Amino acid sequence: DVKVTQSSRYLVKRTGEKVFLECVQDMDHENMFWYRQDPGLGLRLIYFSYDVKMKEKGDIPEGYSVSREKKERFSLILESASTNQTSMYLCASSFLVSGYGYTFGSGTRLTVV
Amino acid sequence: AQTVTQSQPEMSVQEAETVTLSCTYDTSESDYYLFWYKQPPSRQMILVIRQEAYKQQNATENRFSVNFQKAAKSFSLKISDSQLGDAAMYFCAYRSGGGATNKLIFGTGTLLAVQP
């Protein structure tokens, strides 16, 4: 069964900590995405990557960075976690061809205290 | 920039009845794709149905169908014979047809409750 795996389902971190959210896909997808989901705001794109070592800013990149050293792995990094980064984080991947939808991970609910 | 609007934050339907979720979008492009995703309490986003803008025929997937009105920029989802398992958050999404890195733009979601 093909899938996108996010390393943690729940995470609690302290303000100021450096936080790593990991995402791995086994579908040989070129594109990978990190979204943030908040009630009433839907899903907002943080960063995406269309190839190894390539990255593009999404709509809300401030306070985040990403890393894609291998095709199957896309990491989201919170350089210095803040309480306003408490949220649900969703990773997704897709083929390069735009007609396909995404395959999503199960999400990581991050709480920053 | 493209936008997607879901004007119904919450909806409710009786089991076995039919419900329609609304979605409108704004774009100047002619080539694009539209999607409906379902997010149950398990949080796993599941693709429900997709529509290619150049196809006039409305997409259907079993009990799920869409009413795609390209001129009106409307893309509603109809769920027939609603089941308890249909209870979830539903997101409408848009993806441009041009370019390889185009991202999905999501609406704010509609929370669907199914009453037994």
> Which residues in chain B have their CB less than 8 angstroms from residue A42's CB?
6, 91, 106-109
For residue B64, give the nearest of B44, B84, B86 by alpha carbon. B86
* Measured distance between the N- and C-terminal CA atoms of chain A, rounded to whole angstroms: 36
pLDDT in tens, A41-52: 889 999 999 989
d(CA A88, CA A86): 7
Nearest chain A residue to B89 by CA distance is A42
Q: Which two tokens stand for residue B77?
A: 């989802």
The pLDDT profile of chain A, 113 residues, written as one tens digit per residue, is 669 999 899 999 999 999 999 999 999 999 999 999 998 888 999 999 998 988 999 999 999 999 999 999 999 999 999 999 999 999 999 987 767 789 999 999 999 99
Contact flag A99-B33 (C-beta cutoff 8 Å) = yes
Q: Is B73 on the interface with A (CB under 8 A)?
A: no
Cβ pair A47, A34 in contact under 8 A: yes
> Which residues in chain B have their CB less than 8 angstroms from residue A97's CB?
100
Contact flag A101-B50 (C-beta cutoff 8 Å) = yes
Contact flag A48-B103 (C-beta cutoff 8 Å) = yes
Q: What are phi and psi of A94, to 5 degrees?
A: -160, 165
The pLDDT profile of chain B, 116 residues, written as one tens digit per residue, is 789 999 999 999 999 999 999 999 999 988 899 999 999 988 889 999 999 999 889 999 999 999 999 999 999 999 999 999 999 999 999 998 766 557 889 999 999 999 99
A30, A41, A97 member nearest B108 (Cβ): A41
